[in-house]
Structure 1
Amino acid sequence: MKKSFHLSWVCLIMVFTNLFAQEKKQEVEQLNEVVVTATKFATKKELVGKIIYQIKAKDLENLKGQTVVDVLDNISGIHINGNNSSAGKNKSTYIRGGRDRHFLVLIDGVPVNDPSGVNTTFDLRLLTLSQVASIEVMNGAASTLYGSGAATGVINITLKDANKKPISLNYQTSVGTNNSQKDSKINFNEINQNVSVNGALNKFNYLTSFNISKTDGLSEASDENSTDKYGSDALKASNAFMRIGYNFNNDLSIKLFSNYDKNTYDYDAGAFSDSDINNGENEQVRFGISSNYKYTKGSLKLIVSMNKIDRMFDSYNGWTLETDHYEYTGKTYVIDAVNNYKFSEEIQLITGLNYQKQSNLTNSPYGNIDENIANYETIDPYATVVYNSSNGFNINGGLRLNNHSEYGNHFVYNVNPSFNFTNNFRVISSLSTAFIAPSTYQLFSQYGNVNLDPEETKTVELGLIYSKGQLFEINSVFFYREEDNAIILPDYITYQNATETLNAKGIETELKINALKDVSFRLGHTYTNKSADLDYIPKNKFTALIETSSIKNSYVSLRLKNISERTYFDQWGTGENINLDAYNLVDLYGSHNLIKDRLSVFIQVNNIFNEDYVETIGYTTRGRNFKIGLDFNF
């Protein structure tokens, strides 16, 4: 364990030793590079005391045909179990060893979740990557700015904006295979189409985007223990997004937005168990308004939104020999007003007021949940002071009062100092707390317990960032998190608060090298060690990417992912620890501009070596698969 734990730091020391032995080269500064998630406002990256992973528009151009989940699963500190299984299988997202409900998803700055779910987790499959402009991931506690649910990180997804031309059209289509390791047939069971129309007319701008996709050909459950081949389980998805905006002047703008997302899917009866009856449907409607006003010494943002998710599924009951029907409706209302006032170039004050109301309506054979009872409100005032001194010292300190209608008042705080020794070398640290209220399901379902206490966490971070202009950058951060009152289901009958303090610790390291012309390398390593849990988080996860644009009008990348051995406690099956082997996945991607800025073709090959492995016990994983697509711009 010690060897794994110190691996990132050993690599780091070796890099520094080699670096300082080199002849000093001219440095190229990227002073215009900014991030948003750290303060809710655009901030120079070198002044932020957090490591924030950015997937920019130019990066997404080279990821056509992938999903939002695919992109996130390659970021240090994040592991998504189920991403390599059938499309309809649930995806569990773990950030820094935390569970699904410990991170927050933002879409254009608006928090999204599903109050009717066990963990209130937002289903990332409801988003299509072709509608996304950029993604920022800030690992670590961020509850001071973002409230309950941001205990281990924030995924901030920004959707595409309108083009400056009066009208622009984009059409993207792709087809691909969807096979297991045992199937080598070339059947195009994965089909995707997306069309977007957008533009700007004087002060008015608009964008509409529609996506339709279908994935079939793969069984959710593994048929390894069966003499019969299991039937395939399909996923059909459709997404519609519309935004209109108006710029009154350079200081005031307003946007109206609306989303409609729906997917229907088949699923099996469980591990190693087929079903041709079970099916489900998820439907999301989201709309709202956002505005931004800039004044002499600051700016003010206001967001008002409503999000409704309807879920249903039919499940065959082996005891009654009938099909059970389940219906869930979760609603979330959000109002967030935040102001950034700059006293000087060194000091700014961010203040805000956040209101949220969530409700859960459930109809199931095992009991209903009344939304008039299963609801709560939060009204959270918060403030953050940001100080950036001219001598290199920076500090971000904040306080938030979680005023919960069921659990009263809870203070959370964040202290995030950092120091820039030079323009290239920065040391970062933070101490943060978080408050996570029980979900309405954990309180009011057949497993519910209205006497649950909220979960509370405390996180410490210490790390560094070193860069050599555009040539080279390395960042590494150590984290340690303690969690009290963890909500568990120890007897599989009633939710309880754990009596012991759980902890998670680890190191995240990422290295980016642009040493060769038109060729770049990216290496990532995440070490995670948890005191106790029932998940599939690997202790070690390595990612590697080599990409080149050296061929005229073309882009080629090769990606490697290594997942270490895992030990999983099979609580629903054998009741014993099961050891799962390590595995490697290698993916190839290429694109070529047939007509510059007009028409491009892309192709990808996933799991090139057809690795046979277990991601989730009893469920199928994807083997070698191909995808080809076209992207048109008019």
Structure 2
Amino acid sequence: MRHLLYSPALLAVGLALPAVAQDRDRETPELDEVIVTATRLPAIVSDTPGARVIDAETIQQRGAVFAADILSDIPSLSVVRAGAFGGVAQVRIRGATPGKTLTLVDGVPVNDPAEVNGAFDFSGFELGDIERIEVLSGPQSSLWGSDAIGGVIAFTTREVNGVRAEAEAGSYDTRRGRLAAGVAKDTYAFGAWVSRFDTDGISAADEADGNPEADGFRSTTVGARGRYAFTPGVEIDGSVRWSDSRADIDGFPAPSFALADTPDTTASEQVSGFARLKAPLFGLSHQFSLSASDIARDTVSDFPSSFEADRQVYRWQADGAALDDALSYAFGAEREETEGSLSDGTTADLGSTALFGVARYEVSDRLSVTGGLRLDHTDDFGSETTGRLSAALDLDGGFILSGAFGTGFKAPSISQAVCDFCFSAAPFPVLTPETADSGEIALGWASPDGRFDGRATLYRLSVQDQITYVFDPITFDAAYVNIAETRTDGVELEGRADLGSGFDLTIAYAWTDARDETTGTRLLRVPEHAGSATLAWAADRLSGALTLRAEGDQDDAGGVRDSFVTANLNAAWQVTDDVALTARIENLADARYQQVRGYGEPGRSAYVGVRFQY
């Protein structure tokens, strides 16, 4: 039986690639494994197709401030950001539209129910309080229900012990600060933090197109996390996270309706949190939790809007083991209730109830099999059953062969369900949930000494009955309909090499062929080729990372966004055990590029700071 150990690996690109595999015949010392927990049952990353972990050490080494700064380094994950500072940033995993990525913070779903597709905006999601990021690519509805067709991104906040403070300033009159304090003991812990980001920014619309007006961005995040153990088996814990941001944005003014400088602004406020009780009962470990997320968005423009939404999830989960721990399992039930406002100011709600179960069986020291099944009954769209089956086989020579097949579904969002923004004299179409199936196979390898490892993944993701907004220019009818079918074929390559003398090289590449099967055209905003490479170093006092990131041409609304290559450099000098000086340079070569067609990105910019920890 393999032990499930967690030891954060120094992976410069922010990818927890296949960890060093433990030798099954016990002839070499046991090595630590990187563990992913968003699978409900803790699982070894190298045994789990599509699973990756970014730890706090990697986030700090890369100098990533917001989630969008580091998520794009994960193969087949495309970050779509409409404006450099505060522009809406959404994620597409393996070509799936943004609403098909479920985002969790401490297990709390934070997707925006009032957004048309139910997607999450990563633009103001600050990483100062984040301990780890887990990404599960491919359908995960058997674990988390709706919204997880493309995958899951799970953030875990940090348990603070001591005092931490950061301050940074740099280009575009950017200022950033953070303060955190807490205490962590075996039986209890409590910590709180606050962070602030403020910049004058650049024009959201590309300055090269004659848009000189700078668009600023301000963001504040406050959070707290705590736990208390009454006995070794009975514990309560919880967290709360509040964020508030305001961004200057550009719009599409008349008469040309082309993207240009405007005085438009957008503001958002979100609070999320959970409370959980853990207790043993009937030989099982039980968790009872309540989680909630509330969001409000306001846009001031020629077409102003205001949206509010909230979500509550009531969850019970029981964990157990049998057959001398060869079999581990979890099962439970959930109730989710969401409410969101519409364009006319009214509100609508949706709800669902689910039963789920997942189990892993260690067939032998070399082979493990994991299966999951979930039944979701929606209040308005009937019931859906989804499942996932995966297996991992240790081969000779440090190779691990793994594979998975899973299904997923996504219920219509609130906007789609009531046909918001629709215009028709005839009755609106009756929508059904979108469904998906996906298969993948991966071959990983790790050297016996742990200095080299890598993984190659081949996958196919098919989505049926995709909901699309259709507008008829002749009748002016507009409605959401189930017509589109999409398919993504892809290859993901990842590797890491310990070069010695404190140097570490990590590379990642993705080929993504995402197409609309009904028209044969490529899906928008999904580059066919994307990759990154990071050279990291760590000495007694000096550490840093140089990252190159490249994307190929990308089909976008109204044309093609050209390919680009950028480079970022981040370094830290540990002056004392408690104090470090930091510096980072973004867009090192001062490249002119667009991540989304029409929206500019900053030129070369530099930032310096100080970090304190006691």
Determine the structure 2 residue equivalent to 1:238. Answer: 220
My pick for the range that moved more, 278-287 or 529-538, is 529-538
**1:82-97 equivalent positions in 2, closer than 5 A:** 82=81, 85-97=83-95
- How far apart are the structure 2 equivalents of 1:486 and 1:58? 39
- How far apart are the structure 2 equivalents of 1:27 and 1:581? 49
- How far apart are the structure 2 equivalents of 1:45 and 1:424? 15
My pick for the range that moved more, 305-314 or 488-497, is 488-497
Structure 2 letter corresponding to 1:177: S
- How far apart are the structure 2 equivalents of 1:397 and 1:90? 36
SS state at 1:58 partner:
helix
Equivalenced residues, count: 568
What is the aligned counterpart of 1:386 among 346, 360, 385?
360
Conservation of the 8 A alpha-carbon contact between 2:279 and 2:285:
yes
Determine the structure 2 residue equivalent to 1:194. Answer: 178
Task: Kindly state the Cα deviation for residue 137 of structure 1 after the two structures are TM-superposed.
Answer: 1.1
Determine the structure 2 residue equivalent to 1:52. Answer: 51
- How far apart are the structure 2 equivalents of 1:453 and 1:620? 38
Quickly say closer, same or farther: Cα 1:112–1:148, change in 2 above 3 A. same
Structure 2 letter corresponding to 1:481: L
Task: Kindly state the Cα deviation for residue 192 of structure 1 after the two structures are TM-superposed.
Answer: 0.8
Conservation of the 8 A alpha-carbon contact between 1:272 and 1:619:
no
- How far apart are the structure 1 equivalents of 2:282 and 2:29? 31
Moved runs in structure 1, 4+ residues, more than 3 A? Answer: 26-29, 43-46, 200-204, 223-226, 270-276, 293-298, 495-500
What is the aligned counterpart of 2:549 among 545, 561, 576?
561
**1:94-173 equivalent positions in 2, closer than 5 A:** 94-163=92-161, 168-173=162-167
SS state at 2:123 partner:
helix
Q: Report whether the alignment pairs 1:585 with 2:570.
A: no
- How far apart are the structure 1 equivalents of 2:67 and 2:406? 28
Determine the structure 2 residue equivalent to 1:447. Answer: 422
Conservation of the 8 A alpha-carbon contact between 1:51 and 1:475:
no
Residue-by-residue CA offset, 1:367-395 (whole Å, 9 max, x unaligned):
33x32xx2111100011221112242211
Structure 1 letter corresponding to 2:314: I
Structure 2 letter corresponding to 1:558: L
- How far apart are the structure 2 equivalents of 1:65 and 1:137? 17
Residue-by-residue CA offset, 1:602-622 (whole Å, 9 max, x unaligned):
111111111112322222111
Task: Kindly state the Cα deviation for residue 92 of structure 1 after the two structures are TM-superposed.
Answer: 2.5
- How far apart are the structure 2 equivalents of 1:27 and 1:77? 35
TM-score, normalised by the number of residues in structure 2: 0.88
Structure 1 letter corresponding to 2:266: G
Conservation of the 8 A alpha-carbon contact between 2:49 and 2:441:
no
Determine the structure 1 residue equivalent to 2:196. Answer: 212
- How far apart are the structure 2 equivalents of 1:384 and 1:134? 23
Determine the structure 1 residue equivalent to 2:265. Answer: 279
Quickly say closer, same or farther: Cα 1:539–1:197, change in 2 above 3 A. same
- How far apart are the structure 2 equivalents of 1:252 and 1:32? 27
TM-score, normalised by the number of residues in structure 1: 0.85
Task: Kindly state the Cα deviation for residue 336 of structure 1 after the two structures are TM-superposed.
Answer: 1.7
Conservation of the 8 A alpha-carbon contact between 2:87 and 2:123:
no
Q: Report whether the alignment pairs 1:267 with 2:249.
A: yes
Ranges in structure 1 where 5+ consecutive residues have no aligned partner: 1-25, 179-188, 317-323, 571-577
Structure 2 letter corresponding to 1:459: S
Quickly say closer, same or farther: Cα 1:301–1:62, change in 2 above 3 A. same
Structure 2 letter corresponding to 1:505: D
- How far apart are the structure 1 equivalents of 2:186 and 2:90? 44
- How far apart are the structure 2 equivalents of 1:147 and 1:301? 18
- How far apart are the structure 1 equivalents of 2:186 and 2:550? 50
My pick for the range that moved more, 263-272 or 208-217, is 263-272
Task: Kindly state the Cα deviation for residue 457 of structure 1 after the two structures are TM-superposed.
Answer: 0.5
- How far apart are the structure 1 equivalents of 2:29 and 2:151? 30
Determine the structure 2 residue equivalent to 1:41. Answer: 41
SS state at 2:128 partner:
helix
Determine the structure 1 residue equivalent to 2:603. Answer: 623
Task: Kindly state the Cα deviation for residue 424 of structure 1 after the two structures are TM-superposed.
Answer: 2.6
**1:335-350 equivalent positions in 2, closer than 5 A:** 335-344=314-323, 345-350=325-330
Quickly say closer, same or farther: Cα 1:65–1:545, change in 2 above 3 A. closer
- How far apart are the structure 2 equivalents of 1:526 and 1:501? 22
Percent identity between the aligned chains?
A: 19
Task: Kindly state the Cα deviation for residue 422 of structure 1 after the two structures are TM-superposed.
Answer: 4.2
**1:348-363 equivalent positions in 2, closer than 5 A:** 348-362=328-342
Quickly say closer, same or farther: Cα 1:276–1:594, change in 2 above 3 A. same
Quickly say closer, same or farther: Cα 1:177–1:339, change in 2 above 3 A. same
- How far apart are the structure 2 equivalents of 1:543 and 1:273? 30
- How far apart are the structure 2 equivalents of 1:29 and 1:297? 30
Task: Kindly state the Cα deviation for residue 507 of structure 1 after the two structures are TM-superposed.
Answer: 0.7
Determine the structure 1 residue equivalent to 2:453. Answer: 473
SS state at 2:471 partner:
coil
What is the aligned counterpart of 1:514 among 498, 502, 510?
498
My pick for the range that moved more, 195-204 or 289-298, is 289-298
Structure 1 letter corresponding to 2:240: S
Conservation of the 8 A alpha-carbon contact between 1:251 and 1:295:
no
Task: Kindly state the Cα deviation for residue 567 of structure 1 after the two structures are TM-superposed.
Answer: 3.0
Residue-by-residue CA offset, 1:219-248 (whole Å, 9 max, x unaligned):
11124343xx53111111111101222111
- How far apart are the structure 1 equivalents of 2:124 and 2:338? 19
- How far apart are the structure 2 equivalents of 1:593 and 1:307? 38
What is the aligned counterpart of 2:275 among 289, 293, 298?
289
Determine the structure 2 residue equivalent to 1:594. Answer: 575
Quickly say closer, same or farther: Cα 1:336–1:490, change in 2 above 3 A. same
Structure 2 letter corresponding to 1:327: S
- How far apart are the structure 2 equivalents of 1:293 and 1:101? 35
Task: Kindly state the Cα deviation for residue 494 of structure 1 after the two structures are TM-superposed.
Answer: 2.6
What is the aligned counterpart of 1:397 among 359, 367, 371?
371
Task: Kindly state the Cα deviation for residue 501 of structure 1 after the two structures are TM-superposed.
Answer: 2.8
Determine the structure 1 residue equivalent to 2:403. Answer: 429
Task: Kindly state the Cα deviation for residue 126 of structure 1 after the two structures are TM-superposed.
Answer: 4.0
Conservation of the 8 A alpha-carbon contact between 2:66 and 2:124:
no
- How far apart are the structure 1 equivalents of 2:141 and 2:603? 39
Task: Kindly state the Cα deviation for residue 28 of structure 1 after the two structures are TM-superposed.
Answer: 5.8
Conservation of the 8 A alpha-carbon contact between 2:36 and 2:52:
no
Quickly say closer, same or farther: Cα 1:491–1:66, change in 2 above 3 A. same
Residue-by-residue CA offset, 1:573-610 (whole Å, 9 max, x unaligned):
xxxxx2333211011111110111x1111111111111
Quickly say closer, same or farther: Cα 1:29–1:57, change in 2 above 3 A. farther
Quickly say closer, same or farther: Cα 1:447–1:157, change in 2 above 3 A. same
SS state at 1:128 partner:
coil
Conservation of the 8 A alpha-carbon contact between 1:101 and 1:120:
yes
SS state at 1:615 partner:
coil
Conservation of the 8 A alpha-carbon contact between 2:371 and 2:388:
yes
Conservation of the 8 A alpha-carbon contact between 2:277 and 2:288:
yes
- How far apart are the structure 2 equivalents of 1:238 and 1:458? 39
Task: Kindly state the Cα deviation for residue 122 of structure 1 after the two structures are TM-superposed.
Answer: 2.0
Conservation of the 8 A alpha-carbon contact between 1:65 and 1:174:
no
Conservation of the 8 A alpha-carbon contact between 2:113 and 2:413:
yes
Conservation of the 8 A alpha-carbon contact between 2:514 and 2:523:
no
My pick for the range that moved more, 539-548 or 281-290, is 281-290
Task: Kindly state the Cα deviation for residue 114 of structure 1 after the two structures are TM-superposed.
Answer: 0.8
Residue-by-residue CA offset, 1:534-563 (whole Å, 9 max, x unaligned):
52211010110111113x311021111111
What is the aligned counterpart of 2:292 among 281, 295, 306?
306
SS state at 2:431 partner:
coil
